[in-house]
Amino acid sequence: MPEFQFQSFAEFLAMGGHAVYVWSSYAFFAAVIAFNLIQPALAKRKIMRQQRARLAREAGRIQSPEN
C-alpha cells in the first residue's frame, strides 16, 4: 500500500524546495482543463440563445402577413 511520503502537510506544500515548479505545473494543467470544459459550456449557452432568437424571429415573419 503506498504511503504518504512527506513528514507534514507543510513539507508536502514545500515539495523539497521545488514548490514553485511543481505547483505552477499542476496549476497550469488545472487551468487548461477548466478552460476546455467551461469554454464549450459557455459557447453552448450562446448558441442556444441565438438559435432561440432566430426561431422566434422566423415565426414572427411567417405570421406577420396575416396581420
Look up residue 45 and give its three cell numbers.
449557452
Segment 34-38 long-range contacts (CB within 8 Å, at least 24 positions apart): none
Do 8 and 2 touch, CB atoms closer than 8 A? no
Applying the rule CB under 8 A, the residues between 4 and 63 that interact with another protein are 4-6, 12, 15-18, 21-22, 24-26, 28-29, 32-33, 35-37, 40-41, 43-44, 47-48, 51-52, 54-55
Q: In one letter, which amino acid is 54?
A: R
* Contact set with another protein (CB under 8 A): 2-6, 12, 15-18, 21-22, 24-26, 28-29, 32-33, 35-37, 40-41, 43-44, 47-48, 51-52, 54-55
